[in-house]
Chains A and B, each alone.
Chain A
């Protein structure tokens, strides 16, 4: 059941990205180009996603555990450290260079393979480099998102 839900979540997430045209790096670059011919559409994408996401977290706060799991796996860290900031700066520069973040980059493997294979190959190399540099004993447990 969890496997089916995970697959469908990926499917719906990808569909939302495509409907919002966030799978197209030209649209993302036009959003980041606030000093040029600005396209604000990403604001509405994120606004819509966060609005529904917030409802999800409001329901979550009333429940002791998820419907199909024994506990919540939600990040609890609160500290703003140097890694968070330098990682976000590096990610932002990489994002601005091509217009790809990880989700749209993955869909580019199918939508625009001439770009997707270079980008995702390099994403895998970059995250591998991070895991090699980090304490080897913890290499089997990558960070959960935030």
Chain B
């Protein structure tokens, strides 16, 4: 039961962030898009603030509590670089990632996001089956 409650509460909190941000600012939360805006947009200030918040929120909790699953030992740089290049290029070409398509897009029942989410889930599952 605890194994359901923890991820569910994390998900509800993510949903709360997405829904309040939408209703207050009118924008969707897409991390790959926000990261790209810090790099390529002239309006860098807001996306940078978002990322600073994300870094604090995403690391402080781990400092304050014990995680049930340990972080992996640092893996080979080439694996991480190949992964990052595909994630960076693919999320721009496909206009979104797990947050923009997977959470925001499915929440508004966007056909593009539903198709994209099923596609990247399937690609991820096949990749893990082959590599690990």
Contact = CB atoms under 8 A, between A and B. Distances in A.
Interface class of chain A by DSSP: helix
A128 B17 CA distance: 28
Contacts of B125: 32-34, 96
Interface residues of B, number: 114
Contacts of B117: 88
A142 B14 contact: no
What size tier do the contact residues of chain A reach? 35 or more
A114 B80 CA distance: 10
B17 A44 contact: no
Contact of B127 (A36, A92, A127, A143): A92
Contacts of A3: 45-46, 49
Interface in B48-82: 49-62, 67-72, 74-75, 77, 79-82
Given A24-B69, A91-B94, A103-B58, A45 B11 contact: yes
Contacts of A115: 72, 74-75, 80
Given A9-B20, A115-B75, A106 B35 contact: yes
Interface in B75-113: 75, 77, 79-108, 110-113
A126 B46 CA distance: 22
A3 B131 CA distance: 42
Contacts of A73: 25-28
14 contacts: A5-B20, A10-B51, A12-B14, A35-B129, A47-B11, A48-B9, A80-B112, A84-B94, A98-B84, A102-B98, A102-B99, A119-B83, A122-B85, A142-B33
